[in-house]
Structure formats: structure tokens, C-alpha cells
Amino acid sequence: MGQSLDADIATIEKISAVPTILEAVAEMTGLGFVCVARVTADSWHTCAVLDKLNFGLKVGAALDVTTTLCEEVRDTRSAVIIDSVKDSELYRDHHTPRMYGFQSYFSIPLFRPSGEYFGTLCGLDPVKAELTETTTRNTLMLFAELISRQLASEVVLVEAQAALSDEMKTAKMREQFIAMLGHDIRTPLSTLMNGTEILRHHAPPSLKPLLDTMKRSSQRIATLVDEVTDFTRGRMGGGISLNLRHESQLEVPLQQAIAELRSVHPQREIIAELPPGLALLCDASRLVQLLSNLLKNAIVHGDPLSPVYVTVRQSNGIFELAVTNSGPAIPEGVQAQLFKPFWRASQAAAGQGLGLGLFIASEIAISHGGVLEVVSTDSATTFTYRSYSADLS
């Protein structure tokens, strides 16, 4: 069988209703042989078969199309229905009934979505039957139309699956490219940052503002590269990488992250409550990244006249880190989108990043076996990272 025929048979086999339709037709008409046939100008093949007559045709079996009445159906695109061959002036002397030994017969055309002829729903039996009776005829036509409609649905499904497969391949290649690009940017960026730092220590005071701006811009680029790399690693199945260690003073790197953001945003007040001696099995650099992302989000979207609060608590084997900012409540519909990649509020100003900060924070939480949640009211919004871990203090 050719690839085209194999595909046609596979298409019919995917239509789960076909076996039921064949059974229903046989039960309703009393015919012993019912099938779906693929018919072309020069071929006739079975795609689905119900054979109670031991007619001998299996799925994929072929007949000489010139010996069948399906050829006539193909040419006229009209059904052929015979109650009794011997009582039919048109078919009593026809070679096809004589060759295959049937008295009752029907063949109804099936069509592809484009209107192209596909084949037939057909059946036969050596005993005559009342097939032209109005209810029986209409039901047979309805079954044929149902199969034609299912052919259309199957084509749409196959096309959608092919389009999805192509899109997934394209997305995979795009993410691989972004990951490689991020890697290639790191080396020259590192050189630029190191050079800027050296110049800051040796340049005259008049150049310090410019070099400070260059340093902040380089750090901004480095942050974007890190975010894109983390995103692509997560999307490509690698997840957020962790370097777990037993930290005995986790508050130290967390306080450093807060201090850095205070220096970048001196106009904003950040009030932190971090108990001393925080002991935790974690990747400290990743939790610093999580805190930094939450703080940046609070600074950008919170009330600029109100403080941002950072609280850390650890008790009964539960570690909690929360960032709270004042401002209007986040709508529930928006909350459902917050941890998705590249999502940004429609009113977000230009230059506020790629929309990966909360997504990466959530991925860091998940990688630690924890969760990142948001609670938003008319007075404040709080993002809370929570994980279960033994208190190592």
C-alpha cells in the first residue's frame, strides 16, 4: 500500500465512531457486510470492515474498481441503494451483483473537507432488504454524513498537531539560541564590568558619575542575561540550578541584597526585620535573587510614598520570607498571571525589564521545594516565600 492509502486508512481508524456506525448499520439493515472504502479513479480499498458473511475482505484489501458499483457512485457523486437486485430493472443484469453474489446493496459517497470525493460507506447481503424505505435511507445518509464530518475534524486535528509540533520545535530552537547568546554575552560583559571597576578607583572625580552610570548599566545587563538564562534553563527542562549548602547566617547575604537596593533606590524606604543566626539548607545566592526580584517588584509597583517591608521568620521547621508594599489591590485575574514568564501589567512603564522577575522567583521557590504566594488587599500586597526545612540553629 502507498503512503497516501496508509494515511487514509489511519484517518478512518482514528475515528472512534466508525466501528459503532458499522455495527448500527448492520443491525438496522440486516446486511452481513458493511465497510468504509477508499475509492479513486483506479483503485478500491477497504479502510474499515464489518464482515459477518466471511466475504474475505480485511482492512487494506483491494478490489478492481471497475467491478464495483462504487465507481458509479464516484462518477455521479450520488448514492446507489438497491433493495433487491432481481427486482431491479437497472441492476438485475449488471455484472457487479452477479460477480459478488449480492441481492441487497447500498453505497453512499463520503467527502473530504475540501469537497473532494473520498470513498463510500457501503454494504451488501445475498438476501434482499428494505433499504430504500425512507427512514432507513435517511439514516444511512446521516451515517455517511457523520463520517464525512469526522473526516473534516480529523484533518483539522492533524493540521493543528502539525502546527503545534512546528511551533514547539521553533520555540525550542529559540530558547537554545537565547541560552547561547546569554553565554556569549557574559565574557565581554565581565570584561567591561571589571574595566569599569578599575577605572572607578583610578579616574579623576569628574568622571565618577559617568563611571557609576556605566557600572549600573553593566549590572542591569548582567541581571537581564541571568534572567534570560534562568528562564531558558527552566523551559528546556533543566529547572533552576541550585548549590545547596547549610547556611548558618543567611541573614547576612539577605541584608546585603537589601543594602544594594537601598543604594540604587535611595528615595525608597525599605524596612527589614531579619532575625540573627538564620540557619537553613538552601542556595543562598538563589534566595538572595528571589528577595531581590520581590523587592524590585515592590519598588516598581508599590506606593512610592510608603515603605517596603521585608520580614523573615523561621519556626517549627518552616521558613518564611515576605515582602510587603502598600498600594491598590492586584485584581484576581492579574494575580493568576503574575508568575508566568514575560507577563507585565499593561500599564507598566518602558524599561521595567522582561517580565521574568516573579517567574524566576517562583521557579527558585519550587526548586527549593517551597512555594511563592501572593495576597493582595486594598491596603497592601504581600509576596511570601515559604518552605519546609529543619531549623539548623
Query: What pLDDT is recorded for position 14?
Result: 87
Q: Would strands 117-125 and 33-39 be described as parallel, antiparallel, or unpaired?
A: antiparallel
- Please, what's the b/e burial string for 235-269 (b: 16 or more CB within 10 A of its CB; e: otherwise)? beeeebeeeeeebeebbebbbebbeebeeebeebe
pLDDT (tens digit per residue) in 90-142: 999 999 999 999 999 999 999 988 888 999 999 999 999 999 999 999 999 99
How far are the Cα atoms of 229, 233, 385 from residue 244, in angstroms, in the given order?
A: 19, 18, 17
Task: Name the residue among 156, 171, 222 with its Cα closest to residue 193.
Answer: 222
Query: Do 341 and 350 form a contact (C-beta atoms < 8 A)?
Result: no
Looking at the domain that runs over 245-388, which CATH code has it been given? Answer: 3.30.565.10
pLDDT (tens digit per residue) in 227-250: 767 766 665 555 677 889 999 999
Q: Which residues contact 357 (CB under 8 A, 6 or more apart)?
A: 227, 293, 296, 297
CA pair distance 368, 245, nearest whole angstrom: 12
CA pair distance 223, 200, nearest whole angstrom: 21
Tell me which architecture the domain covering 3-159 has in CATH. 2-Layer Sandwich (3.30)
Q: Between residues 82 and 163, which one has the greater pLDDT?
A: 82
What totals of helices (H) and strands (E) does the chain contain, helices first? 10, 13
Spatial strand order of the sheet with 104-111 comes to 62-63, 44-51, 33-39, 117-125, 104-111, 80-82
pLDDT (tens digit per residue) in 264-276: 889 999 999 999 9
357-367 and 208-235 helices cross at what angle (nearest 10)? 60
pLDDT (tens digit per residue) in 192-205: 788 888 888 888 88
Residue carrying C-alpha cell 457523486 = 77
CA pair distance 172, 215, nearest whole angstrom: 33
- Report, as an integer, the average pLDDT of 34-47: 94
Domain residue limits, the chain: 3-159, 162-235, 245-388
CATH 3.30.200.20 fits 162-235, yes or no: no
